[in-house]
């Protein structure tokens, strides 16, 4: 296989000390890109294994969604023997990623600065709710907490209604993405210098970064924006509509040409030269009047007809679909947006990484591992004999697949 054909992170070993969602989503992406990800779990396993809701073959769908392309070793990091195993695993790694609260790894005996002093080429990434420093560093954080503190929740929902969290775990996933970006940047720098570094990612900082133009709008005006609903603060014709059949669709008529074509398709060409709507600024000032006129027209016909005609006129338009419909569309497109992850006894369909590389072999997805599924093999690779592994298992230092009740 040529260098171009190999997955870009082939040969990179990642020690995954993360749990729940922000970290596992990051390490799954690293695995999708070809890294060898070793998931180090507590004796009781990643807490997301037991999340209530749909499950498959004894594992929660929540866990399965974020843990493909990994190997699992279960260790009691609070024991001297378990800590020694972790140190030996890290000794052969390129990257360590963890999402404990700040200071926890140091208390366990894995201080990042000390580890890097002994292993200068290592990249160590820490994901936390509020960063390694600052007044909130010791507080626990979950997705909705950082959505609330960042202002993101205040922008979601409709005017007059309570703040609503985004229906996707943006606080977790965005932190995971920023961690991967930081890791890749550190690996790139290491290729030249030979020196690794510590990457510090905060879930809260990630959500603040997602505010984008809303942050600058607020800084310049001194006014906090309210819930955005299905409209836009700056573009009057960037919003959703409910058609005569009750179905919703969105229109993003951002340019003068799109605005004019929107008016023609909706049957109100006279609005084009109406002084109230003569340009984007005027349309924004008079958006309530404009919306009332457009909504009256949209109500005359079903959504599908409007969508077809607007699309034919090159006005950006789309129906508002639910998740089931969106996944069905992706399946029908057969463009690699979805993948099937198969194990010995079960398989499931999930969303694939959106990153593609031309002329590069894609990583064949492996089923999320059972707790401790790879403990014995990994310990053997570190020089432990089968007898050693049996002894460590009997002492509760590790869990290997052979002693996990119901293991695959």
**Active-site residue list:** 232
Kindly report the number of other CB atoms within 10 A of residue 39's CB atom.
Answer: 29
CB-CB contact of 124 with 112 (8 Å): yes
Structure tokens at 28: 């799954």
Beta carbons of 372 and 41 less than 8 angstroms apart: yes
Nearest to 294 by CA among 227, 234, 249: 249
d(CA 63, CA 60): 5
Separation between Cα atoms, residue 124 and residue 36, nearest integer Å = 16
Q: CA-CA distances (angstroms) from residue 176 to 29, 43, 278, 368? A: 9, 24, 44, 18
The H or E element spanning position 41 is strand 36-41
CA distance 150 to 156: 12
Instruction: Give residues with Cβ within 8 angstroms of 27, minimum separation 6.
Output: 14, 16, 18, 37, 39, 70, 97
**Cα separation of 52 and 46, whole Å?**
14
Distance from C-alpha of 117 to C-alpha of 58, rounded to nearest angstrom: 42
Residue appearing with tokens 């205040």: 154
* Cα distance between residue 343 and residue 366, in whole Å: 7
Evaluate whether 65 touches 338 at the Cβ level (below 8 Å). no
Give the C-alpha separation, 263 to 298, whole Å: 11
Name beta bridge partners: 60. Answer: 55
* Residue burial 69-101, b: 16+ Cβ < 10 Å; e: rest: bbbbbbbbbebebbbebbebbbeebbbbbbbbb
Measured between alpha carbons, how far is 59 from 62 in angstroms, rounded to an integer? 8
């Amino acid at each position: 296989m040529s260098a171009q054909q190999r997955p870009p992170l082939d040969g990179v070993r990642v020690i995954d000390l993360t749990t729940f969602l922000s970290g596992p989503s990051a390490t799954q992406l690293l695995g999708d890109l070809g890294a060898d990800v070793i998931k180090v779990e507590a004796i009781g396993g990643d807490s997301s294994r037991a999340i209530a809701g749909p499950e498959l073959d004894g594992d929660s769908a929540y866990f399965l969604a974020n843990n493909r392309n990994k190997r699992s070793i279960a260790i009691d990091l609070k024991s001297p023997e378990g800590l020694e195993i972790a140190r030996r695993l890290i000794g052969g790694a390129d990257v360590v990623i963890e999402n404990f609260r700040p200071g926890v790894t140091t208390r366990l005996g894995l201080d990042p600065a000390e580890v890097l002093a002994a292993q200068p080429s290592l990249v160590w990434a820490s994901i936390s709710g509020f960063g390694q420093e600052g007044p909130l560093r010791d507080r626990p954080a979950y997705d909705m907490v950082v959505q609330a503190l960042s202002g993101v929740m205040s922008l979601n929902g409709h005017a007059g209604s309570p703040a609503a969290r985004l229906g996707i775990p943006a606080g977790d996933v965005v932190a995971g993405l920023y961690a991967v970006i930081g890791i890749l940047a550190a690996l790139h720098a290491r290729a030249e210098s030979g020196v690794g570094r510590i990457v510090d990612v905060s879930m809260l900082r990630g959500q603040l970064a997602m505010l984008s133009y809303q942050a600058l709008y607020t800084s310049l005006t001194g006014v906090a924006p309210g819930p955005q609903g299905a409209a836009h603060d700056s573009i009057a014709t960037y919003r959703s509509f409910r058609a005569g059949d009750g179905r919703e669709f969105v229109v993003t008529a951002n340019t003068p040409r799109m605005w004019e074509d929107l008016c023609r398709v909706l049957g109100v060409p006279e609005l084009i030269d109406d002084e109230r709507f003569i340009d984007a600024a005027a349309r924004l000032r008079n958006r309530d009047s404009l919306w009332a006129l457009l909504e009256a027209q949209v109500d005359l016909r079903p959504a599908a007809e409007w969508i077809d005609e607007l699309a034919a006129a090159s006005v950006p338009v789309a129906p508002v679909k639910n998740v089931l419909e969106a996944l069905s569309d992706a399946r029908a497109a057969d463009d690699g947006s979805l993948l099937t992850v198969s194990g010995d006894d079960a398989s499931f369909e999930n969303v694939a990484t959106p990153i593609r590389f031309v002329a590069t072999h894609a990583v064949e997805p492996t089923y999320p591992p059972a707790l401790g599924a790879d403990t014995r093999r990994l310990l053997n690779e570190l020089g432990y004999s089968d007898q050693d592994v049996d002894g460590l298992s009997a002492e509760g230092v590790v869990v290997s697949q052979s002693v996990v009740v119901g293991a695959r």
